[in-house]
Amino acid sequence: MNPPGPLKVVVVGSGPSGFYAAEALLAAGAEVDVVERLPTPFGLVRFGVAPDHPKLKQVCQNFTEIAGHERFAFFGNVALGRDVSVDELRELYDAVVVASGSSADRKLGAPGEDLPGSCSATEFVAWYNGHPDYRDRSFDLSCETAVVLGHGNVAIDVCRILSKSVDELRQTDICSHALEALAESRVRDVHLVGRRGPAQAKWTAKEIRELGTLSEADVVLDPADLAIGPACAAEIADARGVTAAQSLKILRTLEGRPRERRKAIHLRFNLSPKAIEGAGRVERVLFDRCRLSGEPFAQVATPCGETAAIEAGLVFRSVGYTGVAIEGVPFDARSGTIPHLRGRVMDQGGPAPGLYVVGWIKRGPSGVIGVNRACSLETVETLLSDLHGAAPGKRGRAGLRGLLERRGARPVDFGAWKLIDDAERRAGSAAGKPREKLTSIAEMLAAARRDPEAPDIRCCA
């Protein structure tokens, strides 16, 4: 009898947590296939990281090294539900690792949220980053004031992109359709509004410091907002408050600066959105003024009876993401995550055999790219403690290839992605930027064709 051979594992999703899971599995000797809905890998590094943060995108080089491993294969343009199901993957592989992220955004639950001019920050980010699902969105930037709701890094990215000059953005990999729209933007004042105080903000110190260095926008804040109470003081003195302490220090250096620039980013605290109003489109956002109450790290914003209004034509909500349920995988709709024990997916009765989870869909949408590495390491450790060797009869990669072929799917392998990558870099270099992203699946698949004479690849756009 032949020895069982390496464990066969398929990872669903090719963002950071998927790649870090692959890295750890490869290091343990497994054969790893990564299935991705889009023809392009890297998830939020491609579609989430801001175009003016090129350094962070260097992680793609690490992912590319991981993909170069002889036991790795990429199956881009393969969608769960359309091309293959989770149950089929569980049949084919020893283990399935779900790394699908948190792709939906949370709603405010406030009246007027669906008025034209009110949208999610995620949509805006995905649009300027060229996500195929969002390339045809349009944002009316003809108003002078925008409100961004939420105090995290995505909210800051939106503020920065709205406040930078087109000349500053031109050299980034921002999509040309977004650059053209931003060139016409009349937005001058952006209010970055949070329900709680500066000690509870989720942004990182680095992001807030960068706001203070913009060439075209001043940061405006009310010194009264930086006077924190004893519970906040206890939070920032704690090891868990190290980031908040840093950002508060930076905020103190930003207050009281003279207004010198054309645009402004107004940092607003203790305002809870109550309603979005306007005749046919967004005209103003109403807030309850709040004060904090409760123990350190459990402080809640409680309305104190006063209201405030900001006249604005655009509202971006950035109040959190949530995962989307996948057929065949347990899901906790309340938290928007997959229930798990150290990465082992838990069904009502107990562990779901061979099913694992990593990244934001495991622990919720928080943590920068690297945090996903520790998260994926934990899951892979669990997986390896459960599965000691490959099970007989698991067809793995060959089985998946056969199944996709029978269904007429046209997977994009890593070599084909490199052709897309090359095409984007070439187009970018002609325009003086690192890359000009292809934004439709049809364009991507055309670029991924090795032989221009080959019959047309099925288009899923």
Partner 1 sequence: MTHVVTANCQACRFTDCVTVCPVACFHGDEERLYIDPEVCVDCSACIPACPVGAIKEEFDLSGDEEEWIEINATRASALPVIRSKQPPLPSAEARRSELGLN
Would you tell me which residues interact with partner 1 (CB under 8 A)? Answer: 16, 55-56, 58-59, 61-62, 204-206, 209, 239-240, 242-243, 246, 367-374, 377
As measured in angstroms, the least distance from the Cβ of 320 to partner 1 is 20
Q: Is 216 annotated as a binding residue?
A: no
The CA distances from residue 162 to 31, 137, 149, 268, 274, in Å, are 44, 16, 14, 17, 24
As measured in angstroms, the least distance from the Cβ of 387 to partner 1 is 20
Taking the least distance from each CB to partner 1, the nearer of 188 and 209 is 209
Q: Is 44 annotated as a binding residue?
A: yes
As measured in angstroms, the least distance from the Cβ of 428 to partner 1 is 20
Helix (H) or strand (E) holding 405: helix 396-406
Q: Give the span between the Cα atoms of 428 and 309, in whole angstroms.
A: 42
Q: Give the span between the Cα atoms of 169 and 110, in whole angstroms.
A: 33
Q: Cβ atoms within 10 A of the Cβ of 112, count?
A: 20
Q: Is 195 annotated as a binding residue?
A: yes
Taking the least distance from each CB to partner 1, the nearer of 241 and 411 is 241
CB 176 within 8 A of CB 424: no
Q: Is 196 annotated as a binding residue?
A: yes
Q: Is 77 annotated as a binding residue?
A: no
Taking the least distance from each CB to partner 1, the nearer of 152 and 396 is 152
Q: Is 151 annotated as a binding residue?
A: yes
Taking the least distance from each CB to partner 1, the nearer of 176 and 243 is 243
CB 363 within 8 A of CB 337: yes
As measured in angstroms, the least distance from the Cβ of 370 to partner 1 is 3
Q: Give the span between the Cα atoms of 456 and 461, in whole angstroms.
A: 14
Q: Is 154 annotated as a binding residue?
A: yes
As measured in angstroms, the least distance from the Cβ of 27 to partner 1 is 9
Q: Give the span between the Cα atoms of 276 and 118, in whole angstroms.
A: 8
Taking the least distance from each CB to partner 1, the nearer of 56 and 227 is 56
Q: Is 345 annotated as a binding residue?
A: no
List beta partners, residue 290: 303
Q: Is 102 annotated as a binding residue?
A: no
The CA distances from residue 33 to 175, 288, 348, 399, 413, in Å, are 30, 50, 28, 12, 10
Q: Which two tokens stand for residue 20?
A: 């870090």
As measured in angstroms, the least distance from the Cβ of 246 to partner 1 is 7
Taking the least distance from each CB to partner 1, the nearer of 193 and 369 is 369
Taking the least distance from each CB to partner 1, the nearer of 227 and 242 is 242
As measured in angstroms, the least distance from the Cβ of 430 to partner 1 is 27
Q: Give the span between the Cα atoms of 446 and 430, in whole angstroms.
A: 19
What is the b/e burial string over 417-452, where b = at least 16 CB atoms within 10 angstroms of the residue's CB? Answer: bebbbebbeebbeeeebebbbbbebebbbbbbbeee
Annotated binding site: 17, 36, 44, 80, 151-154, 195-196, 207, 360, 367-369
Annotated binding site for NADP(+): 151-154, 195-196, 207, 367
Annotated binding site for FAD: 17, 36, 44, 80, 360, 367-369
